[in-house]
């Protein structure tokens, strides 16, 4: 897996990381061999997301709420068996933030 591939699938764009920066204030992008994580702004429910590619070619999407004062970062919601085509709707429906203009 390539982090840019996952971000492109999330935004349904060939320039996923730049779209995330512009549309949701995406910051602190970190990736490894099978996952990508980033922070975002303007959502009361969560401010970080971890997207992991599973061996069966689906994703697990986990949302976290990082608290700068206590340094706590509890998971607030997990979606499993998410197909690539559903990444955008999961993100938009849960956060209320939009990844592309209508």
pTM for this predicted structure: 0.93
Please count the other Cβ atoms lying within 10 Å of the Cβ belonging to residue 66: 14
What are the residue boundaries of the structural domains of the chain, listed by start?
Answer: 3-95
Q: Give the tens place of pLDDT for each residue, 52-86.
A: 999 999 999 999 999 999 999 999 999 999 999 99
What is the residue-averaged pLDDT of the chain? 94
In the predicted model, is pLDDT for residue 3 greater than 90?
no
In the predicted model, is pLDDT for residue 1 greater than 90?
no
Cα angle 54, 26, 98 (rounded to 5 degrees) comes to: 85
């Amino acid at each position: 897996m390539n982090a840019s591939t996952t971000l492109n699938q999330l935004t349904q764009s060939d320039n996923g990381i730049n779209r995330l920066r512009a549309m949701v204030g995406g910051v602190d992008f970190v990736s490894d061999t099978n996952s990508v994580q980033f922070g975002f702004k303007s959502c009361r429910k969560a401010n970080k997301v971890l997207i992991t590619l599973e061996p069966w070619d689906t994703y697990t999407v986990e949302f976290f709420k990082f608290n700068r004062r206590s340094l706590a970062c509890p998971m607030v919601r997990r979606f499993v068996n998410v197909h690539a085509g559903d990444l955008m709707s999961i993100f938009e429906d849960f956060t209320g933030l939009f990844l592309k203009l209508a």
